[in-house]
Amino acid sequence: MSDTAHTLEVGTMVSTPLYDRGRGYITAIHGEQMPQTVKRIGGIMGTGGNAHFDIIFEIGARSVRLPECIIHGPQWKIYPKDAGFAEGWRLAELEKLASDLEAAQLAQEREEEAAFARAVEALKADPAYADLEQGDARDGALAAKNIRKLLKAAFKTTKFSVRKSDYGSIYVRWSDGPSEDQVSEITGRFKTGTFDHYSDCARQEDTPWSKSFGGAEYVFTSRSEA
Protein backbone atom coordinates (compact mmCIF):
# COMPACT_ATOMS: atom_id res chain seq x y z
CA MET A 1 0.00 0.00 0.00
CA SER A 2 1.25 3.51 -0.73
CA ASP A 3 1.00 6.58 1.44
CA THR A 4 -1.50 9.17 0.29
CA ALA A 5 0.75 12.19 0.37
CA HIS A 6 1.33 12.49 -3.36
CA THR A 7 -0.77 12.57 -6.49
CA LEU A 8 -0.16 10.00 -9.22
CA GLU A 9 0.55 10.44 -12.92
CA VAL A 10 0.03 8.60 -16.17
CA GLY A 11 2.72 5.93 -16.47
CA THR A 12 2.95 5.20 -12.73
CA MET A 13 3.46 1.49 -12.07
CA VAL A 14 1.05 -0.28 -9.74
CA SER A 15 0.36 -3.90 -8.89
CA THR A 16 -2.37 -6.01 -7.32
CA PRO A 17 -2.82 -9.71 -6.56
CA LEU A 18 -6.52 -9.43 -7.40
CA TYR A 19 -7.56 -11.70 -10.29
CA ASP A 20 -3.84 -12.51 -10.82
CA ARG A 21 -3.37 -9.23 -12.64
CA GLY A 22 0.04 -8.37 -11.25
CA ARG A 23 1.81 -5.25 -12.49
CA GLY A 24 0.19 -2.53 -14.52
CA TYR A 25 0.44 1.15 -15.37
CA ILE A 26 -1.91 4.12 -15.08
CA THR A 27 -3.06 5.18 -18.55
CA ALA A 28 -5.60 7.87 -17.68
CA ILE A 29 -6.75 9.87 -14.66
CA HIS A 30 -10.32 11.17 -14.45
CA GLY A 31 -11.07 14.00 -12.04
CA GLU A 32 -8.97 15.89 -9.55
CA GLN A 33 -6.94 13.73 -7.19
CA MET A 34 -7.51 14.20 -3.46
CA PRO A 35 -5.32 11.49 -1.86
CA GLN A 36 -5.24 13.32 1.48
CA THR A 37 -8.94 12.55 1.94
CA VAL A 38 -8.57 8.78 1.57
CA LYS A 39 -9.35 6.93 4.81
CA ARG A 40 -9.51 3.27 5.78
CA ILE A 41 -12.41 1.68 7.62
CA GLY A 42 -11.56 -1.52 9.44
CA GLY A 43 -8.26 -1.77 7.61
CA ILE A 44 -9.83 -2.85 4.29
CA MET A 45 -12.78 -0.66 3.29
CA GLY A 46 -11.86 2.76 1.96
CA THR A 47 -13.56 6.11 1.62
CA GLY A 48 -12.58 9.46 0.24
CA GLY A 49 -10.65 10.42 -2.83
CA ASN A 50 -12.15 12.02 -5.89
CA ALA A 51 -10.32 10.76 -8.98
CA HIS A 52 -10.66 7.54 -10.98
CA PHE A 53 -7.86 5.69 -12.75
CA ASP A 54 -7.62 3.60 -15.91
CA ILE A 55 -4.95 0.92 -15.65
CA ILE A 56 -3.48 -1.48 -18.18
CA PHE A 57 -1.67 -4.58 -16.97
CA GLU A 58 1.32 -6.40 -18.39
CA ILE A 59 -0.88 -9.48 -18.98
CA GLY A 60 -3.13 -7.42 -21.27
CA ALA A 61 -6.03 -6.89 -18.86
CA ARG A 62 -7.57 -3.53 -18.00
CA SER A 63 -9.17 -1.79 -15.04
CA VAL A 64 -11.40 1.14 -15.93
CA ARG A 65 -12.18 4.02 -13.60
CA LEU A 66 -10.74 2.46 -10.47
CA PRO A 67 -11.68 4.73 -7.52
CA GLU A 68 -8.91 6.65 -5.80
CA CYS A 69 -9.73 5.13 -2.40
CA ILE A 70 -9.15 1.64 -3.83
CA ILE A 71 -5.85 2.28 -5.63
CA HIS A 72 -4.51 3.64 -2.35
CA GLY A 73 -5.85 0.58 -0.50
CA PRO A 74 -4.12 -2.47 1.02
CA GLN A 75 -4.63 -4.67 -2.07
CA TRP A 76 -2.73 -2.31 -4.33
CA LYS A 77 0.92 -1.25 -4.40
CA ILE A 78 2.05 2.00 -5.98
CA TYR A 79 5.69 2.18 -7.03
CA PRO A 80 7.92 5.27 -6.97
CA LYS A 81 8.97 6.57 -10.37
CA ASP A 82 12.53 5.29 -10.06
CA ALA A 83 11.26 1.74 -9.38
CA GLY A 84 9.01 1.45 -12.41
CA PHE A 85 7.44 3.81 -14.91
CA ALA A 86 5.98 3.38 -18.39
CA GLU A 87 6.70 5.92 -21.10
CA GLY A 88 4.24 6.51 -23.90
CA TRP A 89 5.74 3.88 -26.20
CA ARG A 90 5.41 1.21 -23.49
CA LEU A 91 1.79 2.14 -22.81
CA ALA A 92 1.10 1.93 -26.55
CA GLU A 93 2.59 -1.59 -26.61
CA LEU A 94 0.36 -2.69 -23.75
CA GLU A 95 -2.70 -1.08 -25.33
CA LYS A 96 -2.07 -3.10 -28.51
CA LEU A 97 -1.63 -6.29 -26.49
CA ALA A 98 -4.90 -5.67 -24.65
CA SER A 99 -6.75 -4.85 -27.87
CA ASP A 100 -5.43 -8.00 -29.56
CA LEU A 101 -6.47 -10.16 -26.60
CA GLU A 102 -9.92 -8.56 -26.48
CA ALA A 103 -10.38 -9.15 -30.22
CA ALA A 104 -9.34 -12.79 -29.86
CA GLN A 105 -11.71 -13.25 -26.92
CA LEU A 106 -14.58 -11.71 -28.88
CA ALA A 107 -13.87 -13.96 -31.86
CA GLN A 108 -13.82 -17.00 -29.58
CA GLU A 109 -17.11 -16.01 -27.94
CA ARG A 110 -18.75 -15.55 -31.34
CA GLU A 111 -17.53 -18.96 -32.51
CA GLU A 112 -18.81 -20.58 -29.31
CA GLU A 113 -22.20 -18.91 -29.81
CA ALA A 114 -22.31 -20.14 -33.41
CA ALA A 115 -21.33 -23.67 -32.36
CA PHE A 116 -24.03 -23.60 -29.67
CA ALA A 117 -26.64 -22.54 -32.22
CA ARG A 118 -25.54 -25.27 -34.61
CA ALA A 119 -25.84 -27.87 -31.84
CA VAL A 120 -29.38 -26.70 -31.03
CA GLU A 121 -30.45 -26.95 -34.65
CA ALA A 122 -28.89 -30.41 -34.98
CA LEU A 123 -30.79 -31.68 -31.94
CA LYS A 124 -34.08 -30.25 -33.14
CA ALA A 125 -33.59 -31.89 -36.53
CA ASP A 126 -32.44 -35.26 -35.15
CA PRO A 127 -35.06 -37.92 -35.98
CA ALA A 128 -34.11 -39.80 -32.81
CA TYR A 129 -35.84 -37.04 -30.82
CA ALA A 130 -38.80 -36.46 -33.14
CA ASP A 131 -41.26 -37.48 -30.41
CA LEU A 132 -40.01 -34.83 -27.97
CA GLU A 133 -41.74 -31.48 -27.62
CA GLN A 134 -39.42 -28.63 -28.56
CA GLY A 135 -38.89 -25.41 -26.62
CA ASP A 136 -36.45 -23.66 -24.30
CA ALA A 137 -38.53 -23.16 -21.13
CA ARG A 138 -36.49 -23.24 -17.91
CA ASP A 139 -39.38 -23.74 -15.49
CA GLY A 140 -39.24 -27.55 -15.65
CA ALA A 141 -42.70 -28.13 -17.12
CA LEU A 142 -41.52 -28.94 -20.64
CA ALA A 143 -38.53 -30.87 -19.31
CA ALA A 144 -40.80 -33.04 -17.17
CA LYS A 145 -42.95 -33.91 -20.20
CA ASN A 146 -39.94 -34.93 -22.24
CA ILE A 147 -38.36 -36.85 -19.36
CA ARG A 148 -41.51 -38.96 -19.10
CA LYS A 149 -41.34 -39.76 -22.82
CA LEU A 150 -37.66 -40.69 -22.75
CA LEU A 151 -37.94 -42.85 -19.63
CA LYS A 152 -40.98 -44.67 -20.98
CA ALA A 153 -39.14 -45.41 -24.23
CA ALA A 154 -35.95 -46.53 -22.49
CA PHE A 155 -37.47 -48.58 -19.62
CA LYS A 156 -40.79 -49.90 -20.84
CA THR A 157 -41.55 -52.12 -17.84
CA THR A 158 -40.80 -49.56 -15.14
CA LYS A 159 -43.34 -47.05 -13.85
CA PHE A 160 -41.85 -43.64 -13.08
CA SER A 161 -43.21 -40.70 -11.12
CA VAL A 162 -41.99 -37.43 -12.65
CA ARG A 163 -43.08 -34.34 -10.75
CA LYS A 164 -42.16 -30.67 -11.09
CA SER A 165 -41.93 -28.66 -7.88
CA ASP A 166 -43.10 -25.07 -7.46
CA TYR A 167 -39.49 -23.91 -7.70
CA GLY A 168 -38.76 -25.48 -11.09
CA SER A 169 -37.00 -28.61 -9.82
CA ILE A 170 -37.99 -32.07 -11.05
CA TYR A 171 -38.25 -35.18 -8.89
CA VAL A 172 -38.08 -38.61 -10.55
CA ARG A 173 -38.99 -41.64 -8.43
CA TRP A 174 -39.39 -45.34 -9.22
CA SER A 175 -39.14 -48.82 -7.70
CA ASP A 176 -36.77 -51.56 -8.83
CA GLY A 177 -35.77 -51.65 -12.49
CA PRO A 178 -32.94 -49.44 -13.78
CA SER A 179 -30.21 -48.02 -11.57
CA GLU A 180 -30.00 -44.35 -10.65
CA ASP A 181 -27.01 -43.97 -12.96
CA GLN A 182 -28.99 -45.34 -15.88
CA VAL A 183 -31.88 -42.96 -15.23
CA SER A 184 -29.63 -39.99 -14.50
CA GLU A 185 -27.97 -40.47 -17.88
CA ILE A 186 -31.31 -39.40 -19.36
CA THR A 187 -32.55 -36.90 -16.78
CA GLY A 188 -29.20 -35.16 -16.40
CA ARG A 189 -29.50 -33.71 -19.89
CA PHE A 190 -32.24 -31.38 -18.65
CA LYS A 191 -30.37 -29.98 -15.65
CA THR A 192 -29.40 -26.32 -16.03
CA GLY A 193 -28.33 -25.51 -12.46
CA THR A 194 -24.61 -25.09 -11.79
CA PHE A 195 -22.54 -23.91 -8.86
CA ASP A 196 -19.62 -21.53 -9.33
CA HIS A 197 -17.15 -22.34 -6.56
CA TYR A 198 -15.06 -19.28 -7.43
CA SER A 199 -17.89 -16.84 -6.72
CA ASP A 200 -19.73 -19.19 -4.32
CA CYS A 201 -22.94 -18.64 -6.28
CA ALA A 202 -25.53 -20.92 -7.87
CA ARG A 203 -26.72 -20.06 -11.36
CA GLN A 204 -28.53 -21.51 -14.35
CA GLU A 205 -26.69 -22.25 -17.57
CA ASP A 206 -28.44 -23.25 -20.77
CA THR A 207 -27.17 -26.18 -22.82
CA PRO A 208 -28.02 -27.08 -26.42
CA TRP A 209 -30.27 -29.80 -24.99
CA SER A 210 -32.18 -27.48 -22.63
CA LYS A 211 -32.58 -24.88 -25.39
CA SER A 212 -34.05 -27.61 -27.59
CA PHE A 213 -36.24 -29.60 -25.20
CA GLY A 214 -36.57 -27.59 -21.99
CA GLY A 215 -34.65 -27.50 -18.76
CA ALA A 216 -34.92 -27.39 -14.98
CA GLU A 217 -32.52 -25.98 -12.43
CA TYR A 218 -32.29 -29.31 -10.61
CA VAL A 219 -33.38 -32.84 -11.48
CA PHE A 220 -33.42 -35.31 -8.57
CA THR A 221 -33.69 -39.08 -8.89
CA SER A 222 -34.72 -41.58 -6.20
CA ARG A 223 -34.88 -45.35 -6.63
CA SER A 224 -36.49 -47.67 -4.09
CA GLU A 225 -36.93 -51.40 -3.88
CA ALA A 226 -40.33 -52.99 -3.65
In a domain, 173, yes or no: yes
Q: 1 falls in which pLDDT band (50, 70, 90)? A: very low
Euclidean distance between CA atoms 57 and 26, whole angstroms: 9
Query: Mean pLDDT, the chain, as a whole number?
Result: 92
Residue-level pLDDT at 143? 96
Q: State which residues form the domain around 88.
A: 13-100
Residue 168 clears pLDDT 90, i.e. is over it: no
Determine which of 33-47, 87-101, 189-203 has the lowest per-residue pLDDT on average: 189-203
Residue 21 clears pLDDT 50, i.e. is over it: yes
For residues 166 and 141, is the Cβ–Cβ distance under 8 A? Answer: no
Do 76 and 155 belong together in one domain? no
Do 139 and 205 belong together in one domain? yes
Percent residues over pLDDT 90 in the chain: 83
Q: What is the 3-state secondary structure (H, E, C) of the chain?
A: CCCCCCCCCCCEEEEECHHHCEEEEEEEEECCCCHHHCEEECCCEEECCCCEEEEEECCCCEEEEEEHHHHCCCCCEECCCCCCECCHHHHHHHHHHHHHHHHHHHHHHHHHHHHHHHHHHHHHHCHHHCCCCCECCCCCHHHHHHHHHHHHHHCCCCCEEEEECCCCCEEEEEECCCCHHHHHHHHHHHECEEEECCCCEEEECCCHHHHHHCCECCEEEEEECC
In a domain, 112, yes or no: no
Residue-level pLDDT at 163? 95
Do 143 and 220 belong together in one domain? yes
pLDDT tens digits for 110-149?
A: 999 999 999 999 999 999 999 999 999 989 999 999 999 9
pTM of the predicted structure, to 2 decimals? 0.75
What interhelical angle do 180-187 and 141-154 show, nearest 10?
130
In a domain, 127, yes or no: no
Residue-level pLDDT at 200? 64
Do 146 and 95 belong together in one domain? no
In a domain, 41, yes or no: yes
Residue 1, amino acid = M
pLDDT tens digits for 147-166?
A: 999 999 999 999 999 999 87
Euclidean distance between CA atoms 76 and 60, whole angstroms: 18
In a domain, 88, yes or no: yes
In a domain, 194, yes or no: yes
Residue 83, amino acid = A
Over residues 37-45, mean pLDDT:
82
Residue 27 clears pLDDT 60, i.e. is over it: yes
In a domain, 30, yes or no: yes
What's the total number of domains in the chain? 2
Over residues 102-115, mean pLDDT:
97
For residues 21 and 76, is the Cβ–Cβ distance under 8 A? Answer: no
Boundary (domain end) residue, out of 50, 85, 100: 100
Rg (CA), the chain: 27
Do 137 and 220 belong together in one domain? yes
